[in-house]
C-alpha cells in the first residue's frame, strides 16, 4: 500500500472511531455503515448529520443547515482530498495528526483539513435535545477552571466575538485543564505549528457568517446565545474524557 493510501484509510478510520461514540442512540448502525463505506473508498467522506436538517430550528434554520453541511462542509472535504493528492511528504496517519503536522504555508491542507475537522466536531456537539448546563465531571471541571458556568459562558461568548470569520473553542490543555480560545478562518487548536498554545478542542462554535446569516443577518450575538440552547453537554463531556 502506498503511503498516501495508508494516510487516507487510516485517517478515515481515526475520524470514524473518534466520532462513533458520540452518535446518539439509534444511529450506531447507520454510522457503522458510513465508516465501512468510507474505508472502502479513497479519501475522506462527508459525515451524515446525527439529526435531520430541520432538527435544530428555530435556533438554526433548515436552509442554513442544508447549505452549511451540503455545500460548505462538503466543499472542505472535496478540497481536502484534492490537496492530499498533491501532498507528497506527509507523515500523519490521522486527520488529527495532519492538523498537528502542517505549517502556516500549507494553505490548502490548513483551510480544508481544518474545515473538515471543525465541522465534523460542530455537528456532534449540538442536539435538538441540547441546552441547559453540564452535569457531572464536566460541570466540576468548568467550575474548577473558570469559577462558574456563567463565567465560562461569558468567556466563550467573548471568544466567539472575534473579528471576522473563525471559531470559538472549549479545549483541554496538555495539563488537563480547560481553556477557552478562538481561531481565525478554519484554524484549529491542534495546529501546533500555527496556534500559540496547542490544546484538544471538545466544543466548537462556527462564527463564519455562512453559519448564521440567513436567520440572524448581522446579529452574531443572538446566534451565539441560541447556540447555548443546542449544546449537547453529554457529547462534550465524552470528548473531554477522550482527551484524557
The contact set with Mn ion (CB under 5 A) reads: 72, 206, 208, 211
CA-closest candidate to residue 109, choices 83, 76, 85, 77: 83
Q: Give the residue with the Cβ less far from Mn ion, 143 or 226.
A: 226
Smallest separation, CB 165 to Mn ion (Å): 9
Q: Give the residue with the Cβ less far from Mn ion, 115 or 134.
A: 115
What would you report as the CA-atom Rg of the chain, rounded to the nearest whole angstrom?
17
Cis peptide before 58 (omega within 30 of 0): yes
Q: Give the residue with the Cβ less far from Mn ion, 4 or 72.
A: 72
Q: Give the residue with the Cβ less far from Mn ion, 50 or 134.
A: 50
- Separation between Cα atoms, residue 36 and residue 101, nearest integer Å: 26
Q: Are strands 199-206 and 178-184 parallel, antiparallel or unpaired?
A: unpaired
Question: Which position's Cβ is nearest Mn ion?
Answer: 206
- Separation between Cα atoms, residue 116 and residue 122, nearest integer Å: 10
Smallest separation, CB 222 to Mn ion (Å): 18
Smallest separation, CB 186 to Mn ion (Å): 8
Smallest separation, CB 68 to Mn ion (Å): 6
- Separation between Cα atoms, residue 88 and residue 90, nearest integer Å: 6
Smallest separation, CB 72 to Mn ion (Å): 5
CA-closest candidate to residue 193, choices 115, 94, 86, 99: 99
Residue 23, C-alpha cell as written in the block:
452518535
Q: Give the residue with the Cβ less far from Mn ion, 19 or 142.
A: 19
Amino acid at each position: 500500500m502506498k503511503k498516501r493510501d495508508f494516510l487516507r484509510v487510516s485517517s478515515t478510520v481515526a475520524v470514524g472511531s473518534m466520532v462513533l461514540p458520540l452518535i446518539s442512540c439509534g444511529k450506531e448502525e447507520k454510522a457503522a455503515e458510513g465508516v465501512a463505506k468510507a474505508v472502502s473508498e479513497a479519501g475522506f467522506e462527508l459525515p451524515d448529520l446525527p439529526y435531520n436538517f430541520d432538527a435544530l430550528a428555530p435556533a438554526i434554520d433548515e436552509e442554513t443547515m442544508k447549505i452549511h453541511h451540503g455545500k460548505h462542509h462538503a466543499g472542505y472535504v472535496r478540497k481536502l482530498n484534492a490537496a492530499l493528492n498533491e501532498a507528497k511528504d506527509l507523515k500523519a496517519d490521522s486527520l488529527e495528526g495532519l492538523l498537528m503536522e502542517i505549517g502556516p504555508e500549507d494553505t490548502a491542507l490548513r483551510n480544508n483539513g481544518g474545515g473538515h475537522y471543525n465541522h465534523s466536531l460542530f455537528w456532534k456537539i449540538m442536539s435538538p435535545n441540547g441546552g441547559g448546563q453540564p452535569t457531572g465531571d464536566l460541570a466540576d471541571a468548568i467550575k474548577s477552571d473558570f469559577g462558574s458556568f456563567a463565567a465560562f459562558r461569558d468567556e466563550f461568548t467573548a471568544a466567539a466575538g472575534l473579528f471576522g470569520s473563525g471559531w470559538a473553542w472549549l479545549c483541554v490543555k496538555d495539563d488537563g485543564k480547560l481553556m477557552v480560545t478562538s481561531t481565525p478562518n478554519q484554524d484549529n487548536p491542534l495546529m501546533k505549528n500555527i496556534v500559540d498554545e496547542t490544546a484538544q478542542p471538545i466544543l466548537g462554535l462556527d462564527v463564519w457568517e455562512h453559519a448564521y446569516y440567513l436567520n440572524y443577518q448581522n446579529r452574531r450575538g443572538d446566534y451565539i446565545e441560541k447556540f447555548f440552547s443546542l449544546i449537547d453537554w453529554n457529547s462534550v463531556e465524552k470528548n473531554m474524557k477522550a482527551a484524557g
